[in-house]
Each structure stands twice: as structure tokens, then as C-alpha cells.
Amino acid sequence: MSTPRVALGTAFTTSFQATASTLTPAGAEADAMAKIKVGSKKPESKSAVHAGMALGLFAQIGLAVHLYSLLVPALGASRAGLAMGLVTFMAIIGRTLIGWVMPAGIDRRLMACASYGVQMAGCAVLVAAAGTSIPLLLLGVVLFGLGFGNGTWLPPLIAQVEFVGDDVPRVVALIVAISQGTYAFAPGVFGMIREFAPPAAGLASGAAPNLFVAAGIVQGLAICAFLAGRRRSVPT
């Protein structure tokens, strides 16, 4: 179990270390940011960034901690470890892909919503796998992994364009701190869901539909938070 934990821990450490490098715009992105008026950066949008990042990471960490043990009954210990490594690999692919294709002037809140939407689809596939279908389990892992690396860097990029330059470092530090304090409780909360939720009759031990549904619901709430902040931050 140490291998997947180390892989996931390395991915998140790298993500938070890379956040600092995203705060200084360059090239075309700097031109796009120059067009944003200071008056459009309303302070009320800050809470939505906090909520979106905290909820998204809560779902990711809560599910990731338990995912290995849920995959073992169907895949075996060795292949379940490889599947957890696949989560990290797909996180790199997803993050790199968005970095390549995301236009400078795009609404970054929508990009964050799309990323969590892919993970919600992954949770739905994991529910459909019922703990036994190996192809569906692997597809769910791939979809979950694609958005795994975006939860730590898209919110700082949102703050970059919605707050004045002097406020950005403070906002990023604050949303990261709140997110870390929030998702620290995720493994325990998801563990209680897994332990006390009524088991589904006739399903394999790795099915845990309540856990996957809970992760999908929290990710849906993260999407709502980003969209709500988008409505509030539109210039009037």
C-alpha cells in the first residue's frame, strides 16, 4: 500500500510547489490579464474560490485514500497498486493537456468545472462497475485521474485573474490553507460513510456505491461553488 500512497503524495506535493510558478503571467496571458478591469475583481468571488477548491480536494483525497482497498478485491494487490499509479499518471496527463489547450482569455472557472465533471463521470463509472467489472473499474480510475491534478492549480489561476496583483499571493495562500484544513478530515469522513452506510445487497466488497456517490456529490457542490462565484464576479 505504500507505493500508491507515495505516488499520490508526490503528485500533490508537486502540484502545490508548482502553484507559485503560475502567479506571474507572461506573453499572451499577460495581454489578456491587462484587459481585466480592477473594478470587476469583487471580493465576494473569493469565498467561492475557497469553497470550490476545498470541496473539490475533499472529494479527491477522501476517495483516493480508500480507492486502493476498493480495487484490491477485483484486481488483486499488485494490479490495484498499478491502478493507483495510473491515477497519478493520468493526473499528469490531464494537467498537461489543460495547460496546452487552455486559451489565455478563457473563463478558468469553467475549466475547473469541466475537470470536476470528468471526475464525477469517473465516480458514476465506478458505481456501475459494482466492484467486479475490471474494464469499468479501470475506466473509472482513468476518468478520476484525469482531473486529479487540476484541483490544486486551477483555483490559483482563477485568483490570478479575479484579484488585483498585490492581493493574489495572499488569496492563494488563504485558499490553499483552507483547502488543506478541510481535506484533512476527508479520509475520516469517507471512512465513516464506508463503515456505517447500509451495504448494498448482492454487491461485491469493493463496490462501495455510497462512497462513490458521496464523492460525486461533493464534486458537484464544488462545481456549483465555482459557477456561483462566476455569476457574482461578472462586471456590472
The more confidently predicted of residues 94 and 236 is: 94
- Read off the DSSP letter of residue 22: G
Average pLDDT of span 7-32: 45
First to last CA, the chain: 52
User: Are 84 and 142 a contacting pair, CB within 8 Å?
Assistant: no
20 has a pLDDT exceeding 50: no
What pLDDT digit, counting tens, does each position of 124-144 carry? 999 999 888 999 999 999 999
- What was the pLDDT predicted at 18? 45
- What was the pLDDT predicted at 107? 87
228 has a pLDDT exceeding 80: yes
217 has a pLDDT exceeding 90: yes
In terms of residues, how long is the chain? 236
| All domains in the chain, ordered by first residue | 44-232 (1.20.1250.20)
218 has a pLDDT exceeding 90: yes
pLDDT-derived band at 163 (thresholds 50, 70, 90) equals confident
What pLDDT digit, counting tens, does each position of 171-184 carry? 899 999 999 999 99
Alpha-carbon distance of 199 to 194, in angstroms, equals 9
DSSP string, 73-116: HHH-HHHHHHHHHHHHHHHHHHHHHHHHH--TTS-HHHHHHHHH
Q: 10 Å Cβ neighbour count for 212? A: 25
What pLDDT digit, counting tens, does each position of 97-120 carry? 888 888 877 888 999 999 999 999
Q: Cα–chain-centroid distance for residue 186?
A: 13
pLDDT-derived band at 48 (thresholds 50, 70, 90) equals confident
Q: Which of 9-23, 32-46, 112-126, 156-170 ranks highest by mean pLDDT? A: 112-126
Going by C-alpha positions, the residue among 158, 159, 192, 150 that lies closest to residue 57 is 150
- Amino acid at site 9: G
What pLDDT digit, counting tens, does each position of 50-88 carry? 899 999 999 999 999 999 999 999 999 999 999 999 999
**Percentage of residues in the chain with pLDDT exceeding 70?**
74
